Structure 1
């Protein structure tokens, strides 16, 4: 699996959020934001992933707002990244999904750049 694969990014986010929840730490926006990733990831792709994690009930605490752009279709903007939390469904997805296990193996090799793993 590539580092920019959907399941790798989802594993990274959910495992970070779960770690914060278990340790009672606030979410660090710099880790949640796109610049935390070691490789270039398209911002629309990353926003798509976050929106679907929210819509699928795997994360909570953030909201999606449509931002009108003159002459273009509306763009969405995520708000409240520092309030983001993993849900019980997100924890179950993280622990039970076979793709998450593959993503874990991919990220295990990258643990030096992801200190919470």
Structure 2
């Protein structure tokens, strides 16, 4: 990832409604939410939310798909992985022991931990 791409991506999150939209969509992975559901959850007018979703989509944070008459939005987890990789790629001068607290934090997150297989 180029630095200008990362800057554009982070810039899209530098507004409270957009950041809360992404956090909401992350909580609703993998199913996503319709635009109306996002607007209601965040108490944001539909037209305002539409503009915010467009910014997030251009920056790579969300994607959408049409289901019947609804547009379902999802967080783009591949984009999030690329951003996190960009941030930590030079971390700790290559010494994994120094990065261990970060690794522990990420792996302690229940949504990032491997799911146990169900029978």
TM score, norm. by length of structure 2? 0.41
Bigger relative contact order (CA 8 A; separation at least 6): 1
By percentage of residues, which structure has more helix?
A: 2
Q: TM-score, normalised by structure 1?
A: 0.41
Work out which of the two has the higher radius of gyration on C-alpha atoms and give 1 or 2. Answer: 2
